[in-house]
Amino acid sequence: MTLSGGLSRPGERDRPIIKFMEIDWTLCLVLCLIAGTGALMLFSIAGGSWEPWADKHLLRFGIYFVFMIGLAMLDLRVWFSLAYPIYTAGLILLVLVELIGDVSLGAQRWLQLGPLRFQPSEVMKIGVVLALARYYHGLSADSARLSWKLLVPVVLIGLPTLLVAHQPDLGTAVLIALPGLAVMVLAGLSLRLIIGGIVLGLAALPPFIFFVLHDYQRNRILTFLHPENDPSGNGYHIMQSKIALGSGGLMGKGFGLGSQSQLNFLPEKQTDFIFATLAEEFGFIGCFSVLFLYGVAIFMALRIASISHSHFGRLSAAGGTATFALYVLINGAMVMGMAPVVGVPMPMLSYGGTVMLTVMVGFGLVQAVRVHRYTEVTSGKGSLM
């Protein structure tokens, strides 16, 4: 029997060469184009030098790209078996951050284990998606729509979100919670619960802002509403970003000719506000082109999620894609002054290894779903048998 996608016999599906050929190389090309654009922008803002950002950016992407391909070859049933252990390990690491984490710039987000220093919150961006996908894989449609069993995913999302928000790291907490909620919705959550949750969320927003957030977080929101009230203080980031965006016009000032970034008026030009640098040098056309690449990557990843034969594959790929899409949405809105500055970079365009690793692991999961789209995942213990 011949299967679509070029697979002829079930036994051949596990051959490494067949798996390698089943990887979506067009999606890989799109990711390379985004990362390459990031390297060019980092080269530009460093004054036409590969150091200190562009060379490391390309090196990291190359290493993580190979890692992504390796993850794509991993059987989907292995991902299923590792879902709860990854989540549990991430949760333990977040608790360790609370107890012995490094404090930097007033936030306790980093964990030092020997020579390794990392943010455990990044683990949870993937861990929450995997744990939810595994839980819903064994849940009936009626239970996923409306039942007491929905308390389990609420706890799975809530625990890491609260721990990360306490660090405090509101941006990362949002990037853990929203993809988790997206998985719940895609799993078939009742429309009444969705509408009720939105209403309750909007009602709880004012007291949350004024009584729960730290002073600096509250100031970010107030500054976002009226940045012109403090142009040299809290509003400086947004004001300079808007100047860079507007000055680029349709075609931009040209590669390496952006005054806001080249003269260091634009803060965090290599990380959070690199998209503003792109707008200044390449204008609306450049921004649209990059956003088009992001849109293509998101569309292709969601399409991969839709063709998986297993519920776990569909939900895990869609959840990983949601994380990536939220990075793009939040950073884009932040740079344009449509959202508060929360320290969320533009994925693979901005400089930074931690976020790039998280994104590439997510795409490794998406590619694994494509490669093993015909794999039937049992709802038991996730055995490979």
Residue pLDDT, tens place only, 125-166: 999 999 999 999 989 989 899 889 999 999 999 999 999 988
User: Which two structure tokens, joined as six digits, stand for 207?
Assistant: 């007291």
pLDDT of residue 124: 93
pLDDT one-digit tens code per residue, 209-244? 777 777 777 777 777 777 777 777 777 878 888 888
Inside any domain, residue 362:
yes
First vs last C-alpha separation in the chain: 23
Residues with Cβ within 8 Å of residue 16, at least 6 apart in sequence: 73
User: In whole angstroms, what is the distance from residue 321 CA to residue 244 CA?
Assistant: 29
Inside any domain, residue 380:
no
Closest CA to 177 of 124, 229, 226, 137: 124
Inside any domain, residue 14:
no
pLDDT of residue 8: 41
User: E-strand spans in 212-260?
Assistant: none
pLDDT of residue 10: 47
pLDDT one-digit tens code per residue, 35-73? 999 999 999 999 889 988 999 999 999 999 999 999 999
Q: Is the pLDDT of residue 77 over 50?
A: yes
Inside any domain, residue 237:
yes
Inside any domain, residue 72:
yes
Inside any domain, residue 313:
yes
The residue assigned the tokens 């996730």 is 382
Inside any domain, residue 179:
yes
Average pLDDT, integer, range 80-97: 94
Inside any domain, residue 384:
no
User: Which two structure tokens, joined as six digits, stand for 70?
Assistant: 């390796």
| pLDDT band, residue 327 (cuts 50/70/90) | very high
* Crossing angle of helices 274-306 and 25-45, rounded to 10°: 170
Q: Residue 378, by phi and psi: left (phi above 0), alpha (psi -120 to 50) or beta?
A: beta
Report how many domains make up the chain. 1
pLDDT of residue 160: 95
Residue 128 belongs to what domain range? 19-371
> Reduced to 3 states, what is the DSSP secondary structure of residue 47?
coil
